[in-house]
Amino acid sequence: MVEEGHILIDRVSKSFEDANAAGGRQLILSGISLDIAPGSFTSFIGPSGCGKSTLLRIISGFLFPDGGKVEVDGKKVEGPGVDRGFMFQDHVLFPWLSIYDNIAFGLKVQGTYEKRKEDVKEIIHQVGLDGYEDHYPYQVSGGMQQRASLARALIGHPKILLLDEPLGALDAFTRMTMQEEIRRVWEKSHTTMIMVTHDIEEAVYMAQKVVVLSSHPGRVIKEIPIELKRPVDRESPEFTAYKTEILKALHYGENGLPEDLGEVVS
């Protein structure tokens, strides 16, 4: 089987107009290079405003870099495509469609709906929205909208799934259940997943590799492969060590913290 879903990010940079910045533009991403293996699970973590959503939008093809390029399976990304599913941070659902129709939307566009009706039912069950199929987005809570949006992104079985803080609006318990759910879908589907999160624990729990980004401009500070035995024990020393490593990278950059200050952030 040919492995699909390889993402190559090659020296990507991006700036936006900003009246307050010197020269009227602000550099947001600078020289981002990442090689994301087919079927892998990567988390991006970094301070608010460092360019995580911008980077996902560039991978999805909704936004173009000023410099560098993104390739998917050797082909330069020149626009959005059905090979790349995307769940936006603001998880927009179509307000005029029911929860069910929002989730089934992609299949109807693809013309596969009639064959895959059972899959729609199954995914609705997986994300815990049984009984809410006929509701409209404004009639359900923010967390439910987020779950519907996740279901909509999962149903098309894209070879790449880009998730921008998919669980941000959920309470702690639902969030942990959904972390399991996304992991399970990933394990079954061989989809290449990139998930942006603010939550260090979530990044360590879910991903095979955590990419730590800096801000002003956004750069890759560190790539940390996560090697934990499953099921993962969130209380274990190994788990805590990864969390500390990420925290240090976020605060102090590539080289972490001088040893004698290590205790302060541990």
Ligand X SMILES: Nc1ncnc2c1ncn2[C@@H]1O[C@H](COP(=O)(O)OP(=O)(O)OP(=O)(O)O)[C@@H](O)[C@H]1O
- Interface positions with ligand X (CB under 6 A): 16-17, 28, 46, 48-54, 89
Instruction: In angstroms, give the least distance from the CB of 96 to ligand X.
Output: 26
Instruction: In angstroms, give the least distance from the CB of 202 to ligand X.
Output: 14
Q: How far apart are alpha carbons 210 and 222 in whole angstroms?
A: 8
Q: Which residues pair with 9 in a beta bridge?
A: 34, 70
Instruction: In angstroms, give the least distance from the CB of 146 to ligand X.
Output: 15
Residue 53 binds Mg ion, judged by CB under 5 A = yes
The item of Mg ion, ligand X, none sharing an interface with residue 39, based on CB under 5 to 8 Å by kind, is none
Give me Rg for the CA atoms of the chain.
19
Window of 13-21, 70-78, 86-94, 235-243 that interacts with Mg ion by CB under 5 A:
86-94
Instruction: In angstroms, give the least distance from the CB of 165 to Mg ion.
Output: 6
Site string for Mg ion, 106-135 (x = CB under 5 A): ------------------------------
Lookup: tokens for 220: 């890759």
Give the DSSP letter of residue 30: E
Query: Closer CB to Mg ion, residue 13 or residue 53?
Result: 53
Determine the 3-state secondary structure of 76 from DSSP. Answer: strand
Q: How far is CA 184 from the centre of its chain?
A: 15
Instruction: In angstroms, give the least distance from the CB of 16 to ligand X.
Output: 3
Lookup: tokens for 193: 């997943």
| Number of helices and strands in the chain (H, E) | 8, 10
Report the largest interatomic distance among the alpha carbons of the chain, rounded to a whole angstrom: 63
Phi, psi of 5 (to 5 degrees): 100, 25
The item of Mg ion, ligand X, none sharing an interface with residue 118, based on CB under 5 to 8 Å by kind, is none
Single-letter code of the amino acid located at 54: T
Query: Closer CB to ligand X, residue 155 or residue 212?
Result: 212
Query: Closer CB to ligand X, residue 46 or residue 137?
Result: 46
Q: How far is CA 45 from CA 42, 117, 135, 245, in A?
A: 10, 36, 34, 12
Query: Closer CB to ligand X, residue 28 or residue 160?
Result: 28
The item of Mg ion, ligand X, none sharing an interface with residue 49, based on CB under 5 to 8 Å by kind, is ligand X
Among residues 218, 212, 209, the alpha carbon closest in space to that of 246 is found at 212
Q: How far apart are alpha carbons 187 and 166 in whole angstroms?
A: 18
Query: Closer CB to ligand X, residue 20 or residue 118?
Result: 20
Residue 43 binds Mg ion, judged by CB under 5 A = no
- List the interface residues with Mg ion, window 20-39 (CB under 5 A): none
Single-letter code of the amino acid located at 51: G
List of residues contacting Mg ion (CB under 5 A): 52-53, 89
